[in-house]
């Protein structure tokens, strides 16, 4: 593939590598020794090529649930607030906000210099419109919850938005970290319920740092930098998302310099396949704790798992470190609860059950499961052996390996487990939703707000709801409600610490680990700054020095 350099500037700029220094400062591991000594002045231009494992589902991300469309959408659209490098809410299109005393009113003051990509100004009307569209039953948006809890939205002047809630809602601010939609283009479609057929879904207009240029379905999406972006024009001139549905191929493209970025390597790729000199010269690897955790969930309706001793036995039977080493090659951290480590609500001062097969067997015996006939399996009083099926979805290599390792460990304590890998749609519909499972291996995201209401509250145990294990604990219910309806962080911290402690005692699921994120960025790209929220928080500041630019930005 021919490589185009920028127009031949031969200036050797010894500009202070301020951004480079920032990159070396992060508390997160990065291969600092590989960052070149010579700096380069920030320059506009060049193209950033990112591999995307799935094609985007559409160009109005409010309507989609796949990751690719949200990645792309995040560049085209903006919200009122955004997540900053330390996982806190920061101003985006709203320059400030205030909460009323009773936490029922949230008032945003919008910036005045934001324009849609077609030149029209962004105003409070658009915010109002976005809200109305999201709550409109005709809009097929998957994530409406936050908006449905709003009582009212007012736009007293073009740059002020006042949101009122019935009850204090802790995640209120987070709700407005979502994509704002243009009223002047979409009003008629939203009212008719035909958003999917609007031109916006094939040629979107947003307020974000990049403008849409083209989408070749199945092949690529191309975005170009928006010159009058309110936070400053992004340096990287163009982003191309290449659709490459095979992880193996993405990796090969990385090695052949066909892509500039991979959002996460696998454990083995990071540890074993990217250690050679040519790779380390051409790419920088990063490692930071990911969000989301993998767990083993019990069906608490199953009488065997209703007994806490059995759940504890399972927890003792499983060797979490072995899982981390075997599945992630050590590139993960043990999870002790559902809240993201490093955030303000996290605590690790909770009960832990270490790997102890003898203790596991003892607990099982206490619960009535002993090996009565010497066949290596435990049976209950009536002689029925303890057998179960571990289920998880097909297509996920990590979960498969976890299931296999757990199966072996359970065998060691006398429990016979089969594994079933089921296609996702069938899995959710036939087993997860109707609670027809014994044990599942799944993952959940830990969002930025620690509110866990939908996962642990006893009212959320319906078939379409997220409390899959069927957990019900009145004290946890109370704490969840309190946590959700307060907007004072000091109070909330107490509640969530207590919740984590109770969950570790009750063990409705065994929290396994949080995988590290292992992104890789081409070395010519400067300005990457690892932070608790990852590396993409300052994407608009990434640049390539003029003499190293590889592609014309067209």
Partner 1 sequence: MRQFWRTFSRNQLAVCGGAVVLVLVTLAVLAPLLAPWDPNRPDTRKILIPPSSSHWLGTDPLGRDVLSRVLYGSRISLAVGFVSVGIAAAIGVLLGAAAGYHGGTVDNVVMRLVDLMLVFPRFFLLLAVLAFLKPSIWTIMTVIGLTGWMGVARLVRAEFLTLREREFVIWSESVGAGAMRIIFRHILPNAIAPILVAMTLGIPAAILTEAGLSFLGLGVQPPYATWGNILNDGRDYIEIAWWMTLYPGLAILITVLSYNLMGEGIRDALDPRLRQSRVGRIRTR
Partner 2 sequence: MALFALRRLLLSLPLLIGITFVSYVVISLAPGGPLDFLTPEDPNASVEVKERLIKEFGLDQPIHVQYWQWLKRAVRLDFGRSFLPDGRPVLTKIGERLPITLFLNLIEMAIIVGLAVPIGVLSATRQYSLYDKITTVFVFVGFATPDFWLALLLMILFGVQLGWLPISGLRSLNWEYLSFWQQQWDFFSHLVLPIVVATFGGLAGFSRYMRQSMLEVVRQDYVQTARAKGLSERVVISKHALRNALLPVVTILALALPGLIGGSVIIESIFAIPGMGQLMVQSVFSRDYPVVMGNLVIVATLTLVANLVADITYGLVDPRIRFGGRRGRR
- Laid out side by side, the sheet with 150-157 consists of 94-99, 105-110, 160-165, 150-157
Nearer to partner 2, 156 or 445 (CB): 445
Length of the chain equals 554
Restricting to residues 233-252, which ones interact with partner 1 according to CB under 8 A?
Answer: 247-248, 251
Q: What string marks each residue from 195 to 224 as x (binds partner 1 by CB under 8 A) or -? A: ------------------------------
Distance CA 454, CA 309 (A): 26
Which of partner 2, partner 1, none binds 551 (CB below 5-8 Å, type-dependent)? partner 2
- At 419, which helix (H) or strand (E)? strand 416-422
- At 297, which helix (H) or strand (E)? strand 293-298
Among residues 148, 174, 170, the alpha carbon closest in space to that of 103 is found at 170
Q: What is the DSSP letter of 4?
A: P
Nearer to partner 1, 164 or 407 (CB): 407
From 201, 347, 407, 485, residue interacting with partner 1 (rule: CB under 8 A): 407
Helix (H/G/I), strand (E/B), else coil: 514: strand
From 202, 273, 485, 547, residue interacting with partner 1 (rule: CB under 8 A): 273
Among residues 554, 546, 550, 551, the alpha carbon closest in space to that of 44 is found at 546
CA distances from 533 to 78, 294, 331, 341 (A): 18, 19, 17, 11
Helix (H/G/I), strand (E/B), else coil: 300: coil
Contact 86, 533 (CB under 8 A): yes
Strands in 1-133 per DSSP E: 45-52, 81-83, 89-91, 94-99, 105-110
In this structure, the strands spanning 509-517 and 261-262 are: unpaired
Rounded to a whole number of angstroms, the minimum distance from the CB of residue 405 to partner 2 is 26
Angle at 322 between CA 321 and CA 328, to 5 degrees: 85
Rounded to a whole number of angstroms, the minimum distance from the CB of residue 327 to partner 1 is 8
From 53, 405, 482, 502, residue interacting with partner 1 (rule: CB under 8 A): 405
Distance CA 31, CA 284 (A): 7
Nearer to partner 2, 243 or 329 (CB): 243
CA distances from 71 to 46, 410, 443 (A): 20, 39, 20
Distance CA 243, CA 250 (A): 9
Q: What string marks each residue from 408 to 437 as x (binds partner 1 by CB under 8 A) or -? A: x---------xxxxxx--x-----------
Rounded to a whole number of angstroms, the minimum distance from the CB of residue 341 to partner 1 is 23
Rounded to a whole number of angstroms, the minimum distance from the CB of residue 214 to partner 1 is 31
Rounded to a whole number of angstroms, the minimum distance from the CB of residue 207 to partner 2 is 21
Rounded to a whole number of angstroms, the minimum distance from the CB of residue 422 to partner 1 is 7
Residue 475 burial (CB < 10 Å; 0-12/13-18/19+)?
A: exposed
Residue 401 contacts partner 1 per CB under 8 A: yes
Residue 57 contacts partner 1 per CB under 8 A: no
Which of partner 1, partner 2, none binds 325 (CB below 5-8 Å, type-dependent)? partner 1
User: At a CB cut-off of 8 Å and minimum separation 6, what does 407 contact?
Assistant: 390, 417, 418, 419
Residue 387 contacts partner 1 per CB under 8 A: no
Nearer to partner 1, 399 or 492 (CB): 399
Which of partner 2, partner 1, none binds 447 (CB below 5-8 Å, type-dependent)? none
Which of partner 1, partner 2, none binds 139 (CB below 5-8 Å, type-dependent)? partner 2
Tokens 């790419």: give the residue. 283
Site of interaction with partner 2 (CB under 8 A): 1-2, 4, 47, 49, 55-60, 63-65, 69, 137-145, 148, 193, 196-197, 201-202, 216-220, 240, 242-246, 248-249, 252-253, 255-256, 258, 423-426, 428-430, 454, 460, 462, 464-466, 551-552, 554
Rounded to a whole number of angstroms, the minimum distance from the CB of residue 267 to partner 1 is 10
Nearer to partner 2, 16 or 256 (CB): 256
User: At a CB cut-off of 8 Å and minimum separation 6, what does 38 contact?
Assistant: 14
Residue 65 contacts partner 1 per CB under 8 A: no
Residues in the site for partner 1, rule: CB under 8 A?
A: 247-248, 251, 266, 268-269, 272-273, 322, 325-326, 329, 394-395, 397, 400-401, 403-405, 407-408, 418-423, 426
């Amino acid at each position: 593939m021919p490589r185009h350099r920028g127009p031949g500037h031969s200036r050797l700029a010894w500009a202070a590598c301020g951004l480079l220094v920032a990159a070396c400062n992060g508390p997160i591991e990065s291969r600092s020794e590989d960052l070149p000594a010579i700096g380069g002045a920030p320059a506009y231009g060049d193209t950033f090529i990112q591999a995307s494992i799935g094609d985007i589902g559409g160009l109005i991300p409010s309507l989609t649930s796949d990751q690719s469309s949200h990645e792309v959408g995040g560049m085209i659209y903006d919200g009122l607030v955004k997540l900053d490098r330390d996982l806190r809410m920061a101003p985006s299109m709203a320059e400030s906000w205030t909460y009323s005393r009773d936490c029922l009113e949230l008032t945003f003051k919008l910036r005045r210099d934001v324009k849609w990509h077609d030149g029209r100004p962004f105003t409070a009307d658009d915010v109002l419109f976005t809200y109305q569209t999201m709550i409109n039953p005709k809009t097929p948006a998957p994530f409406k919850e936050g908006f449905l809890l709003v009582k009212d939205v007012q736009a007293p002047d073009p740059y002020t938005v006042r949101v009122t809630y019935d009850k204090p809602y802790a995640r209120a601010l987070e709700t407005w970290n979502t994509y704002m939609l243009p009223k002047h283009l979409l009003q008629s479609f939203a009212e008719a319920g035909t958003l999917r057929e609007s031109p916006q879904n094939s040629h979107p207009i947003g307020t974000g740092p990049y403008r849409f240029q083209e989408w070749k379905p199945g092949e690529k999406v191309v975005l170009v930098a928006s010159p009058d972006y309110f936070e400053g024009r992004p340096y990287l001139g163009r982003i191309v998302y290449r659709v490459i549905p095979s992880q193996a191929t993405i990796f090969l493209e990385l090695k052949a310099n066909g892509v500039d970025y991979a959002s996460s390597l696998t454990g083995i790729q990071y540890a074993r396949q990217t250690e050679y000199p040519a790779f380390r010269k051409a790419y920088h690897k990063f490692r930071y704790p990911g969000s989301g955790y993998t767990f083993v969930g019990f069906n608490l309706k199953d009488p065997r798992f209703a007994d806490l001793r059995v759940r504890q036995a399972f927890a003792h039977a499983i060797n979490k470190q072995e899982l981390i080493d075997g599945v992630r090659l050590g590139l993960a951290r043990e999870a002790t609860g559902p809240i993201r480590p490093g955030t303000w609500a996290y605590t690790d001062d909770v009960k832990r059950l270490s790997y102890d097969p003898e203790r596991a067997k003892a607990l099982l015996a206490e619960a009535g499961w002993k090996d009565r006939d010497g066949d290596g399996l435990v049976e209950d009083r009536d002689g029925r052996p303890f057998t179960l099926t571990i289920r998880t979805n097909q297509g996920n290599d990590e979960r498969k390996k976890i299931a296999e390792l757990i199966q072996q460990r359970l065998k060691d304590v006398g429990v016979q487990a089969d594994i079933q890998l089921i296609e996702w749609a069938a899995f959710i519909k036939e087993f997860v939703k109707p609670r027809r499972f014994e044990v599942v291996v799944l993952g959940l995201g830990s969002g930025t707000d620690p509110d866990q209401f939908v996962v642990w509250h006893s009212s959320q145990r319906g078939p379409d709801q997220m409390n899959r294990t069927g957990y019900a604990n009145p004290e946890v219910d109370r704490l969840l409600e309190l946590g959700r309806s307060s907007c004072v962080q000091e109070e909330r911290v107490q509640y969530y610490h207590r919740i984590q402690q109770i969950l570790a005692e009750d063990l409705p699921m065994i929290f396994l680990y949080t995988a590290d994120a292992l992104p890789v960025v081409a070395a010519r790209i400067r300005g990457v700054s690892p932070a608790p929220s990852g590396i993409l928080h300052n994407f608009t500041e990434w640049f390539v020095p003029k003499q190293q630019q590889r592609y014309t930005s067209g």
